[in-house]
A and B are shown apart, each in its own frame.
Chain A
Amino acid sequence: MRGNHALLFIKTNATLIALVVLTVALAVADPTFHSARNLSNVARQVTIVGIIGVGMTMVILIAGIDLSVGSVVGVAAVVVTLLMQYGLAAWLAVPITLVIVGGLIGVWNGFWIAHYRIPPFIITLGMLTIGRGVALSLSSGSSIPVADPSFAALGSAYIPPVPTLAILAIAAAVGGYRLFKSRRLGRKAGAPPLFEKSLPSVIAGAAGLLLAAYVFGTGDGLPVPVAIFVVIAAVAIFVLGHTRFGRRLYALGGNEEAARLSGINIYATKMIVYVTVSLLSALSGILLASRLNGASPNLGTMFELDAIAAVVIGGTSLAGGSGTIGGTIIGALIIGVLNNGMSLLGVSSFYQLIIKGLIISLAVWFDVLQKKNWAG
């Protein structure tokens, strides 16, 4: 019985454990890995895929897929830099790009998928090619530089250490209060003690906060893109877990016909999801262009694979209906840490590809195994 508990614990928290093991191993293997500066870099790299991953989680949750996200990154980067070349201020160029690129592509994808029930795989594969073509033709195939400091700030600025630590302290307080409340609630309802059930996430949350304090509370502080990612992820976690809209996604992915007959507006729900993922991808493209002080039309190539990998490694089922944003964040962290670690250790980029592919396969296999367990 004890063995069973341990096994269950490992199973339900496999990705988290994998992340911890990976991090500790790299920290031992290479001392530069756990320097605050390097970890801050990892965090920044993770945000680009992480932001797309949040949208991708929602798409995969409704048993869909969006292969066009990488191209959206490219188009958005090109469009935002072009707009600024034409003399538009950054504060105008950014929202216009979001609406035109993210909004339009999202509506296009969503329309075909929701209205004509075209398989999302096909329509977004088409958009992958179209988008890349648009990025290349708008930029005539060459890079576009930007020299606007206010735009560059979006991707490169920091929130200084002191306010960062204050924010972290507030986050810890809110987390502690929620835990306290849910415990009381659980006890009143006679439910099994929530504390025990959520122990791994409590420990992970506390460890995460401490680590964040170490990484961002020293040196330059918290990079703005990381802050944006954290806010987006927090909103998404709340929406998926605690709102009607979130419920609709799980219902739609679990059983579309039953969801329709339960009174869920399938059309609107799908539309919102595909627009959201496109908007988030466009935001990623803008952040990337800002960080690089310019755009190349090939930005974002293959990002769809990293985003899907993060979602799948994070335990979201490709069949739809089950998964979490928290899992995707862990998945994105695993990919980010792996990329960074392998580069530090001097693993050739050829081998990096092989290793990443193997890890994705492993994650899907794990998902299938878990499905089997309760299918009977």
Chain B
Amino acid sequence: MSETVLKMEHIVKEFPGVRALDDVNFEARAGEVLALMGENGAGKSTLMKVLGGVWPYPSYQGDIFIKGERRRFRSPREAMDAGIAIIHQELNLIAELTVAENIFLDRQPANGLGAIDWRKLNTDAEALLGELGISDIKPTDRVKHIAVGKQQTVEIAKALSRRASILVLDEPTSALTDREVSELFRVIRGLRQAGVCMCYISHKMEEIAAIADRVVVLRDGRTIGDAVAISDITLDQIIARMVGRELTEMYPESARQRGAKILDVRNLGVDHPSLSGESKIKNASFSAYRGEILGLCGLMGAGRTTLVSAIFGAYPQATHGEVFVDGKEVNIRSPADAIACGIALLTEDRKALGLFLGQPITFNTTISSLQTVSSPPIGIIDAARERAVSEQYAAQLNIRAASVDAAVGTLSGGNQQKVLFARWLNASPKIFILDEPTRGIDIGAKVEIHRLLNHLAEQGVAIVIISSELEELLGLSDRILVMNEGRIVSEFSRETATRKAIMEWATGARRATE
């Protein structure tokens, strides 16, 4: 049997007021993929930060053994030198540099004069990519020009160039398409063959079943049971360990009734920002109804986000076409106009496009609907009312935080997402558009969000949801629109929608006969 290369014993890590890790124990072997699972806030990322030297010794208690030797990392550099590489959810690549420059960042081969040896840099990078079986990106490609899935493999190549023997992948597939995921899995399997020890953090059960050898579950900062071979445990058992209770249905039943048409989009087009004459969205027409959940499906780059952002007034200069709300034509020139029309958009990238990380929950909750907590003439904010509103949402949405004064930057991903939900709920939208609302959040929170969406639909809100998880769209939506290359190519009702048919349209395998 392969040797144990990583062992973490009795790890405890405390933050002011919280014990994020509370006696964590596990070990990982060479040539295996160990899945680390747990809900948001369970401590997975904190644990990996301890391992990676981001939280240096002695800011934690406990012992880390690498190949049987006790190590105490005082900086990320020391951890790296010990052969540990962490690939974070948010990639750490420099978009303007080439693939090869990124792989050998700060360790570029130099010639006698100290200048960079470009030829060696590129051939070395090519060799590394070759080892990973990647042939469709060139070392000289700029990172900003390659797809997210490929960027992930560049990160892996970067790790390997340092001869990493322990590779941590933190939710590596959260931004990848199905094809990119299978490509990544091929790379991971290759590394397993080569004896690399991999810790794989993910929320997605199908992935764990497909790629992991063993699985260890974290809950509330503790390891629940020992690591188990994936063949010896069922998915239901894993979930039970994660949530500490049996999970009720993933997609709760709902007795909603479709109401009147509320949103009508006709021939909406969005010009390409840099290529004149090109369009990112072409002639999109669709309607949404009160009390209905409309799914918007498509592969990465199909234009889903662009379409909903355009409706929300994010690109006033580039957008043309007609939008009707409640039968009246509206001219939406900015997100403020859209909000005034009763439209809300929960954005995809919560950190870049949604939250004010340094500000408290209260601030983030009320920023889009300050009129609800302030008096009209000069807009004086009633702090007590604001607090009460925020606390009410925190309770309703089960937001876990010390208090509503906590900066949202200190919350876990799922809780941050819930704060964004609170913001838009407080704006009382008639049309609620959600772009990947459950990406990167745990199953418990996911079910809560599904339930909430059903509840909103029952109250007569029109819901438009984008998700890369087809299962989720199939489970939630009353209708599904499929997009491909900037067009809406087909529509399915709940009864007619099948995974296969949708994928055929989304991938462009089937096209409407012109």
Interfacial residues, chain A to chain B (CB-CB below 8 A): 185, 189, 191, 242-245, 247, 250-251, 254-255, 257-265, 321-322, 374, 376
Q: Is B353 an interface residue (CB 8 A)?
A: yes
Contact call B384/A250, Cβ cutoff below 8 A: no
Distance between B334 CB and nearest chain A CB, rounded to angstroms: 7
Pair count A-B, CB < 8 A? 87
* Given the contacts A261-B353, A261-B354, A322-B358, A247 and B380 also touching, CB distance less than 8 Å: no
Q: Say which size band chain B's interface belongs to.
A: 35 or more
CB neighbours of B334 from chain A (8 A)? 260, 263, 265
Distance between A68 CB and nearest chain B CB, rounded to angstroms: 28
Interfacial residues, chain B to chain A (CB-CB below 8 A): 49, 54-55, 312, 314, 334-336, 338-339, 345, 347, 352-359, 363, 366-368, 370-371, 374, 378-381, 383-384, 387-388, 403, 405, 407, 409-410, 423, 427
Contact call A189/B387, Cβ cutoff below 8 A: yes
Contact call A243/B381, Cβ cutoff below 8 A: yes
Please give me the residue from chain B that is nearest to A321 by CB atom: B358
CB neighbours of B405 from chain A (8 A)? 191
CB neighbours of B352 from chain A (8 A)? 255, 257-258
Please give me the residue from chain A that is nearest to B354 by CB atom: A258
Contact call B374/A244, Cβ cutoff below 8 A: yes
Contact call A263/B384, Cβ cutoff below 8 A: no
Please give me the residue from chain A that is nearest to B15 by CB atom: A376
Contact call B367/A251, Cβ cutoff below 8 A: yes
Distance between B407 CB and nearest chain A CB, rounded to angstroms: 7
CB neighbours of B407 from chain A (8 A)? 374
Question: What CA separation (Å) do A247 and B383 show in the bound complex?
Answer: 12
Please give me the residue from chain B that is nearest to A243 by CB atom: B379
Question: What CA separation (Å) do A259 and B347 show in the bound complex?
Answer: 12
Contact call A262/B368, Cβ cutoff below 8 A: yes
Contact call B335/A247, Cβ cutoff below 8 A: no
* Given the contacts A242-B380, A263-B339, A247 and B355 also touching, CB distance less than 8 Å: no
Contact call A251/B356, Cβ cutoff below 8 A: yes
Distance between B135 CB and nearest chain A CB, rounded to angstroms: 36
* Given the contacts A191-B405, A258-B354, A261-B314, A376 and B54 also touching, CB distance less than 8 Å: yes
* Given the contacts A254-B358, A255-B355, A321-B358, A263 and B368 also touching, CB distance less than 8 Å: yes
Distance between A367 CB and nearest chain B CB, rounded to angstroms: 13
CB neighbours of A254 from chain B (8 A)? 356-359
* Given the contacts A185-B384, A191-B405, A262-B368, A257 and B353 also touching, CB distance less than 8 Å: yes
Distance between A240 CB and nearest chain B CB, rounded to angstroms: 11
6 closest A-B pairs by beta carbon, nearest first, are A244-B379, A263-B339, A254-B356, A263-B336, A244-B370, A262-B368
Main secondary structure of the interface of A (DSSP, over half): helix
Contact call A255/B357, Cβ cutoff below 8 A: yes
CB neighbours of B338 from chain A (8 A)? 263
A sample of 8 cross-chain residue pairs with beta-carbon separation below 8 angstroms, ordered by A number, consists of: A185-B383, A189-B384, A189-B387, A247-B367, A258-B352, A261-B345, A262-B367, A263-B334
Question: Pick the contact of B347 from A185, A243, A244, A261 — CB < 8 Å?
Answer: A261
Distance between B103 CB and nearest chain A CB, rounded to angstroms: 26
* Given the contacts A189-B384, A243-B381, A257-B352, A262 and B423 also touching, CB distance less than 8 Å: yes
Please give me the residue from chain B that is nearest to A260 by CB atom: B335
- 14 further A-B pairs in the complex, CB-CB below 8 A; given A189-B387, A247-B381: A189-B384, A242-B381, A243-B379, A247-B363, A251-B359, A254-B357, A254-B359, A257-B352, A257-B353, A260-B314, A261-B314, A265-B336, A321-B358, A376-B55
Please give me the residue from chain A that is nearest to B366 by CB atom: A247
CB neighbours of A263 from chain B (8 A)? 334-336, 338-339, 368, 427
Question: What CA separation (Å) do A265 and B363 show in the bound complex?
Answer: 17
Question: What CA separation (Å) do A75 and B423 show in the bound complex?
Answer: 45
CB neighbours of B355 from chain A (8 A)? 255, 258
Contact call A376/B49, Cβ cutoff below 8 A: yes
Contact call B384/A247, Cβ cutoff below 8 A: no
Question: What CA separation (Å) do A259 and B49 show in the bound complex?
Answer: 30
CB neighbours of A242 from chain B (8 A)? 380-381, 383
Distance between B492 CB and nearest chain A CB, rounded to angstroms: 29
Question: What CA separation (Å) do A250 and B387 show in the bound complex?
Answer: 18
Contact call A245/B356, Cβ cutoff below 8 A: no
Please give me the residue from chain B that is nearest to A265 by CB atom: B336
Please give me the residue from chain A that is nearest to B410 by CB atom: A374
Question: What CA separation (Å) do A351 and B356 show in the bound complex?
Answer: 42
Contact call A243/B356, Cβ cutoff below 8 A: no
Please give me the residue from chain B that is nearest to A375 by CB atom: B409
Question: What CA separation (Å) do A244 and B381 show in the bound complex?
Answer: 7
Question: What CA separation (Å) do A250 and B363 show in the bound complex?
Answer: 9
Question: What CA separation (Å) do A12 and B370 show in the bound complex?
Answer: 29
Question: What CA separation (Å) do A242 and B386 show in the bound complex?
Answer: 11
CB neighbours of A243 from chain B (8 A)? 374, 378-381
Distance between B384 CB and nearest chain A CB, rounded to angstroms: 6
CB neighbours of A191 from chain B (8 A)? 387, 403, 405
Question: Pick the contact of A321 from B335, B356, B380, B387 — CB < 8 Å?
Answer: B356
Question: What CA separation (Å) do A191 and B55 show in the bound complex?
Answer: 30
CB neighbours of A251 from chain B (8 A)? 356, 359, 363, 367
Please give me the residue from chain B that is nearest to A266 by CB atom: B334
CB neighbours of B357 from chain A (8 A)? 254-255
Question: What CA separation (Å) do A245 and B427 show in the bound complex?
Answer: 18
Question: What CA separation (Å) do A113 and B100 show in the bound complex?
Answer: 37
Question: What CA separation (Å) do A141 and B312 show in the bound complex?
Answer: 54
CB neighbours of B55 from chain A (8 A)? 376
Distance between A79 CB and nearest chain B CB, rounded to angstroms: 30
Please give me the residue from chain A that is nearest to B49 by CB atom: A376
Please give me the residue from chain B that is nearest to A188 by CB atom: B384
Question: What CA separation (Å) do A260 and B352 show in the bound complex?
Answer: 12
